[in-house]
Amino acid sequence: MIWLIVALLLGLNVSPAAAAGAKATHSTLLYQHFFPAWNPYLQDYLQNACREQIANYRNATFSDPRTSYTVLDCLLKQFPEFRKAEMSAAAVVLGLAPTILQMISPRPSDTAMVALRRPVLALLLSAAAPATSCPPPGQYAERLQALARPLPPQVRGCFPYTAPRVLGYHERAAAAVVSAAQYAAALAAAANSAYRTYQLCVWTVCTFVPTRVYLPALWHAAVVLLHAGGWLAMLLSLRPSPPTPPAPRRPGPWGKVSRMLGREVMPGAFAEKLPVESRDGPALGFSLMTMALYVGVPIHILYGTMVLSSLAFVSAVDSLGVVAWYALSAVVSKGVVYFECAGIQAVASESLATAQAGQQMSGQSGPKAVVYFECAGIQAVASESLVTAQAGQQMSGQSGPYAQPSQPDVLARQTFNRTLSKPALKEVAPWLVIIRVSSLIIWPQSLATP
């Protein structure tokens, strides 16, 4: 999408005469079409009252490069006063658009988290919203530190944090559907924003520089640079996690490309945990990037406010439509970013929970030795008791102490009457210890010799 915006900037600055080889003095893209509400009136003014001025403007080799000013002045003279008042109201709406959009658009720290695994998707989401806000410097570290701790109980069962568990039963099909939906939404949002920017460039006229067409496109393209600065700040605030043995083999060039493509198309809710962690202490480059964002974001909003509020020949209804379409793209972009970041955090939380459970079940010392020793003793005593009971029943029938087994013996027989494999023993080992201790406390007489 960044190449589309660059192509738009270059195309808006090239006139047909220049493309044909003649030396052009100005662009001729303006005054060809306007927003629907006023397009019939303006076209009528151009064909009648402003015929000479528009003819000079459409001649790209006309000697006066400032002929666009004469066309603008002629159209404003033909406009009635109530139309000018409505145009002022539309200018207020458009001027507030950058401030409104930055409230609902994703931050650079949000898209930076997505870019760690899926840079192409993050680029589309960055271009979908033409405004952004500056995140606090600590938010980058908070994003990374959130991957090192489990989810809070109040959000663990809420969507979209439950997506890995709910959709995990059909992982491949669900991952393909989710990834396709994310790219479709991001492409649609980015294309919608690019088209609205094109309308503002070609269907309007900037009153303080009517000879320049690309000013709204420059405002839109600058937001991608701000997000790129956020990505760089994120990279400067993290470090790779220490690899777990055995260390993976380094792939070749084709292997790296395959891994990059695999990460790009795999949603965060179905991927592995990001092997990164927060860096200890701020880096100089990180401080410089956050400082640049603190300066760049307000300048970007100020520039957008100045340019959009200076656009002429936009009705109040058309201005509301433009802002609404921009807001729709921003909301879609924010939703995709939120879902992706929630999936990344949910996968990290489940990975931490699994690692903690594995440490409790298969630690290399301490609890493991105690559990294995106790379980082995319980299994040996139960097995010996069952063998003795079977031998006694064969020798003396159903009489004797084993004719009416006590409650602990029945529980022991039901529990240990089958052979436990080592994986099964690891799973039931804590429960076996609880059963053994409970039998010692509740029925101590069961240990006496019958």
- Mean pLDDT of each 10-residue bin along the chain, 450 residues long: 51 49 77 95 95 92 87 94 95 97 94 91 96 83 70 61 60 84 96 97 95 95 95 82 58 74 82 70 78 94 97 96 97 94 76 59 48 49 55 52 48 47 50 55 46
Is-contact 148 348, C-beta < 8 A? yes
- The rounded Cα 154 to chain-centroid distance in angstroms is 21
Hey, where are the domains in the chain?
81-241+256-359, 367-447
At 97 the pLDDT is 97
Residues in the chain, how many? Answer: 450
Whole-number Å distance between alpha carbons of 367 and 373: 10
Nearest to 97 by CA among 329, 324, 293, 335: 324
Q: Is the dihedral of CA 166, 172, 175, 178 positive or negative?
A: negative
Is-contact 382 410, C-beta < 8 A? no
Residue 203 is inside which H or E element, if any? none
At 292 the pLDDT is 92
Radius of gyration over every alpha carbon of the chain, rounded to an integer in angstroms: 35
Whole-number Å distance between alpha carbons of 422 and 399: 36
* Residues in Cβ contact with 206 at an 8 Å cutoff, skipping those fewer than 6 apart: 212, 215, 307, 310, 311, 312
Whole-number Å distance between alpha carbons of 392 and 381: 16
Is-contact 208 310, C-beta < 8 A? yes
CA–CA distances in Å: residue 12 to residues 18, 129, 355, 362, 438: 12, 21, 56, 66, 82
Is-contact 261 152, C-beta < 8 A? no
Locus of tokens 């029943």: 393
Whole-number Å distance between alpha carbons of 443 and 49: 108
Nearest to 340 by CA among 105, 118, 133: 118
At 5 the pLDDT is 52
At 82 the pLDDT is 95
| pTM beyond cutoff 0.75 | no
The conformational region for residue 255 under phi > 0 = left, psi -120 to 50 = alpha, else beta, is: alpha
At 400 the pLDDT is 45
